[in-house]
Amino acid sequence: MKRLSMLATVACACLLTTVASAHKAPGQEDKMMQGHMNSAQVDKMTKGWPKASRDAITFLTGKYGAPAAVTADMAVWGKAGPWKRTIVFRTEVPHKFPGPHTDVMQQWLDYKAPLSMYDDLAMYDGSVVLERTSGEMSARCDKEEANVLAVNLAHEVATGKRSVESARQKYGEQIMAMKAKQPAPYTERVMFNMDASTEDPDRPLAKK
């Protein structure tokens, strides 16, 4: 139910920006849609958000520019870096793996995993989500580097290169290395090629 609620919220955010665009005055630039919000606007709209969320917004703005839209509950970026979209949520989700933190930043990319590996991927990291129909995988943490790490190891689990326990151990090692400012290559870039067609529309039930 939580996942369905989150997806519904994302749809609402898209609807809000569409409605705003449709009702703008002639010649008025749609800053929300085009991602031209300035720092003062973003700061004002996110003033009461938790520190983890505000830190994530500051980081992403410095790397990719201002968000395309900000609502009372989320800041949204479109395609940026390897990601199809990025959302920073106002609501923090407590997460204890590999150490206590809160998940606030969710990032999506195209991915198609074997259905037989879905259980293993869920056991590997509960903040990695596979969406079979849309052909997407997302990771949700407090830092982009952790999301890059999460999807890289998810790919190794999905392709049978690593076991669940091996992936969890490697995740912890890479996070520790990153915090110590030592080489942590799994956190630096997406290390696999993304397929062009990942959707799985399934099939209709057979007629009786």
Q: How confident is the model at residue 208 (pLDDT cuts 50, 70, 90)?
A: low
Which range is least confidently modeled, 9-18, 34-43, 101-110? Answer: 9-18
Q: What is the pTM of this model?
A: 0.82
As a whole number, mean pLDDT of residues 141-168 equals 98
As a whole number, mean pLDDT of residues 14-28 equals 38
31, pLDDT greater than 90: no
104, pLDDT greater than 60: yes
- What pLDDT, on a 0 to 100 scale, did the predictor assign at position 199? 96
The closest alpha carbon to 109, from 143, 69, 151, 141, belongs to 151
163, pLDDT greater than 60: yes
Locate the domains of the chain by residue range: 75-187
The closest alpha carbon to 144, from 47, 61, 70, belongs to 61
The four Cα atoms 91, 106, 169, 145 give a dihedral, to 10 degrees, of -110
Task: Work out the percent of the chain whose per-residue pLDDT is above 90.
Answer: 78
Mean pLDDT score of the chain: 87
Token reading at 170: 């490697």
Q: Which residue has the higher pLDDT, 121 or 20?
A: 121
- What pLDDT, on a 0 to 100 scale, did the predictor assign at position 206? 85
Q: How confident is the model at residue 146 (pLDDT cuts 50, 70, 90)?
A: very high
Q: How confident is the model at residue 38 (pLDDT cuts 50, 70, 90)?
A: confident
Q: 133 in helix, strand or coil?
A: coil
Q: Which residue has the higher pLDDT, 22 or 191?
A: 191
Q: Which residue has the higher pLDDT, 195 or 123?
A: 123
Token reading at 145: 């580097």
Contact present, 164 and 123 (Cβ < 8 Å)? yes
133, pLDDT greater than 50: yes
- What pLDDT, on a 0 to 100 scale, did the predictor assign at position 35? 52
Give the angle 112-118-119 at the CA atoms, nearest 5°: 170
Rounded-to-integer distance, Cα 146 and Cα 154, Å = 12
